[in-house]
């Protein structure tokens, strides 16, 4: 008797499902929560065009290695979303977008063709840490405005999204924020669920107070972090902490409800972000989405 | 990717695969209502990650992995669900299926310890390799082999009694 066939028969089909379109609204809401987080970071970064120097192949190389100085959207050279009087044809758009007119080279230098006239630039809109880099560019090319978002990865490759601005309903900043998944860890699934469930670094003492276990240094802690109802409800014990063990920095979330055993989730600094606050932003985002939160 | 293109591609995938993905959730959790919740959670997360996941061609594996991991989290936290049901489709309001309609094999599957059940579902129902099953569950290949062997042994004994 074939087990696979018997299982297939035994599992059945279940009751009717709602229309798939019903998922769009909660999906958009979840995406909007992420856009808001990314969008806030994008507004805080520079919107200036920095010095460009000519290099080979008729391209221009951006020699700025550090994040550009802060600016505001009012620093725009011109409105990056203005459609041209005559929109480009599909063939023209495809030709422009396939021409690598804006790109990172293998060493992480931003290279912009002389054909592309930069109208607006957002430096590191996805808040990636070195050696990774990110940039969003609105550029006028052959009379039309195109938007580019690039993420340079530590392995020397880069990911990009690009579009003709006239085909988009949203503004440049919103479109840039929408491309945030370019910056997500694509090496595996660890970036999606960075939590380590069995690495016990702290434990609850009284109330929402945590103490470090032996060999661990408790750097600081936050009682009742606001991570939404999916993380902890009224009456639950909840805390977050930054700790160091054997020179490695971790963030920890802890929660306990009623007589249930406490749950401790550790996240390495490399996955959790450079500060406890940024880690809490990540955790808030994950638990708002559902899907296991950090685990 | 334009938002309307994104949504059209997403809806096409959901329409084509959600039935089978919900069966995966049901096979693991044994409850259609909870399976609906798990599926919804996974598909919303897929919507957010759609450009990246679609680019990698991992849509189905991504959703399946969320279902398994969300199910893990539910087991760790039996007192709370992460997401309510879809608006207008309250799972709690639906009538449960009669237990007697479920086969002895399915009941035996639900009686397996969670890790055995998950390895049997992925490895022996869906036909994933040991390596793929280990990757989806985040465990070693040895763990997959030992748990699936014990699980299959128990299910085969049920099938033998039936025949």
What pLDDT is stored for residue A182 in this prediction? 74
- Report which of residues B31 and A230 the model is more confident about: B31
Q: Length of chain B in residues, anyone? A: 163
Mean pLDDT of B38-50: 84
User: B98-163 adopts what CATH topology?
Assistant: Arc Repressor Mutant, subunit A (1.10.10)
pLDDT > 90 in chain B, percent = 31
Q: Which of residues 55-114 of A touch B (CB under 8 A)?
A: none
Q: B70 and chain A: CB distance < 8 Å anywhere?
A: yes
Mean pLDDT of A186-206: 68
Determine the number of helices (DSSP H) and then strands (DSSP E) in chain B: 7, 0
Secondary structure of residue A203 in the 3-state scheme: strand
Is pLDDT above 90 for B94? no
What pLDDT is stored for residue B2 in this prediction? 59
pLDDT class of A197 with cuts at 50, 70, 90 = low
Q: Which of A187, A181, A169, A102 is nearest to B46 (CA)?
A: A181
| Domains of chain A by residue range | 29-183, 202-289
- Report which of residues A232 and A291 the model is more confident about: A232
**CA quadruple B71, B77, B78, B81: dihedral sign:** negative
Is A31 in Cβ contact with B23 (below 8 Å)?
A: no
| Residues in Cβ contact with A117 at an 8 Å cutoff, skipping those fewer than 6 apart | A139, A140, A141
- Report which of residues A288 and A144 the model is more confident about: A144
Q: What is the pLDDT of residues A89-123, one digit of tens each?
A: 877 887 787 778 898 887 889 999 999 999 999 99
What pLDDT is stored for residue A220 in this prediction? 96
Among A11, A182, A293, the residue with its CB nearest the CB of B26 is A11
Whether A203 and A260 have beta carbons less than 8 Å apart is answered as no
Q: Tell me which long-range contacts A96-104 makes (C-beta under 8 A, separation of at least 24).
A: A96/A141, A96/A142, A96/A144, A96/A146, A96/A164, A97/A146, A97/A162, A97/A163, A97/A164, A101/A139, A101/A141, A102/A137, A102/A139, A102/A148, A102/A150, A102/A162, A103/A150, A103/A158, A103/A160, A104/A133, A104/A150, A104/A152, A104/A158
pLDDT > 70 in chain A, percent = 73
Average pLDDT, chain B: 78
Is pLDDT above 60 for A225? yes
Mean pLDDT of B138-148: 86
How many Cβ atoms from other residues are within 10 Å of residue A7's Cβ?
21
Q: How far apart are CA A191 and CA A209, in angstroms?
A: 28
Is B77 in Cβ contact with A30 (below 8 Å)?
A: no
Q: What is the pLDDT of residues A121-155, one digit of tens each?
A: 999 998 888 788 999 999 999 999 999 988 887 66
Least confident window among A72-76, A178-182, B102-106: A72-76
> Roughly what angle, to the nearest 10 degrees, separates helices B32-56 and B3-29?
140
Q: How far apart are CA B158 and CA A197, in angstroms?
A: 34
Is B51 in Cβ contact with A10 (below 8 Å)?
A: no
Instruction: Please give the distance of CA A62 from its chain centroid, rounded to a whole number.
Output: 24
Q: How far apart are CA A96 and CA A206, in angstroms?
A: 62
Is A14 in Cβ contact with B73 (below 8 Å)?
A: no
Mean pLDDT of B26-37: 89
State how far residue B144 is from chain A, nearest Cα, in angstroms: 17
Instruction: Please give the distance of CA A147 from its chain centroid, rounded to a whole number.
Output: 18
Cα–Cα distances (Å) from B124 to B46, B120, B148, in that order, read 25, 5, 8
Instruction: Please provide residue B78's backbone torsions phi and psi, each rounded to the nearest 5 degrees.
Output: -70, -10
Q: Which of residues 192-231 of A touch B (CB under 8 A)?
A: 192-193, 197, 230
| Residues in Cβ contact with A256 at an 8 Å cutoff, skipping those fewer than 6 apart | A204, A236, A237, A238, A262, A263
Q: B109 and chain A: CB distance < 8 Å anywhere?
A: yes
Q: What is the pLDDT of residues A18-28, one digit of tens each?
A: 888 888 887 77
Instruction: Please give the distance of CA B163 from its chain centroid, rounded to a whole number.
Output: 28
Indicate the DSSP class of residue B67: H
Is pLDDT above 70 for B102? yes
Strand partners, A145: A140
Mean pLDDT of A257-276: 84
State how far residue B29 is from chain A, nearest Cα, in angstroms: 11
Is pLDDT above 50 for A36? no
If you average pLDDT over each of A61-75, A143-157, B95-109, which comes out highest? A143-157
| Domains of chain B by residue range | 1-97, 98-163
Q: B131 and chain A: CB distance < 8 Å anywhere?
A: no
Q: B17 and chain A: CB distance < 8 Å anywhere?
A: no
What pLDDT is stored for residue A193 in this prediction? 65
């Amino acid at each position: 008797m074939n087990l696979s066939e018997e299982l297939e028969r035994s599992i059945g089909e279940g009751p009717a499902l709602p229309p798939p379109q019903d998922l769009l609204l909660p999906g958009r809401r979840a995406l909007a929560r992420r856009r808001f987080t990314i969008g806030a970071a994008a507004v805080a970064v520079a919107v200036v065009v920095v010095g460009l120097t000519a290099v080979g192949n008729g391209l221009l190389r951006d020699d700025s290695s550090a994040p550009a100085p802060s600016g505001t959207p009012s620093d725009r050279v011109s409105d990056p979303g203005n459609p041209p009087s005559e929109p480009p044809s599909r063939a023209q758009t495809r030709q422009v977008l396939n021409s690598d007119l804006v790109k990172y080279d293998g060493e992480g230098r931003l290279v912009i063709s002389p054909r592309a006239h930069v109208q607006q630039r957002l430096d590191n809109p996805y808040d990636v840490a070195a050696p990774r880099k990110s940039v969003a560019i609105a550029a006028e090319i052959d009379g039309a405005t195109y938007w580019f978002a690039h993420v340079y990865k530590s392995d020397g490759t880069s990911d990009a999204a690009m579009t003709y601005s006239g085909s988009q309903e949203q503004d440049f900043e919103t479109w840039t924020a929408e491309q945030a998944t370019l910056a997500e860890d694509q090496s595996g699934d660890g970036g999606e669920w960075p939590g380590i469930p069995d690495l016990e670094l702290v434990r609850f003492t009284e109330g929402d107070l945590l103490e470090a276990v032996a060999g661990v240094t408790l750097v600081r802690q936050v009682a009742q972090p606001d991570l939404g109802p999916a993380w902890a409800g009224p009456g639950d014990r909840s805390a977050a902490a930054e700790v160091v063990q054997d020179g490695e920095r971790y963030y920890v979330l802890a929660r306990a409800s009623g007589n249930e055993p406490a749950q401790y989730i550790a996240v390495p600094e490399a996955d959790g972000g450079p500060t406890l606050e940024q880690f809490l932003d990540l955790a808030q985002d994950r638990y708002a989405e559902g899907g296991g939160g950090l685990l | 990717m334009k938002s309307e293109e994104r949504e059209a591609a997403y809806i096409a995938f959901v329409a084509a695969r959600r039935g089978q993905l919900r069966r995966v959730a049901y096979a693991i959790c044994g409850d259609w209502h909870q399976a609906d919740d798990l599926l919804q959670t996974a598909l919303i997360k897929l919507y957010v990650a759609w450009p990246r996941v679609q680019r990698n061609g991992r849509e189905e594996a991504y959703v399946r992995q969320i279902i398994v991991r969300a199910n893990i989290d539910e087991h760790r936290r039996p007192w709370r669900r992460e997401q309510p049901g879809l608006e207008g489709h309250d799972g709690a309001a639906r009538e449960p299926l009669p237990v007697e309609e479920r086969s002895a094999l399915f009941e035996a599957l639900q009686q397996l310890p969670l890790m055995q059940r998950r390895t049997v579902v992925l490895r022996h129902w869906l036909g994933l390799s040991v390596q793929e099953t280990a990757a989806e569950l985040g465990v070693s290949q040895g763990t997959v082999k030992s748990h699936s062997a014990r699980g299959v042994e128990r299910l085969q004994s049920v099938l033998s009694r039936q025949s």
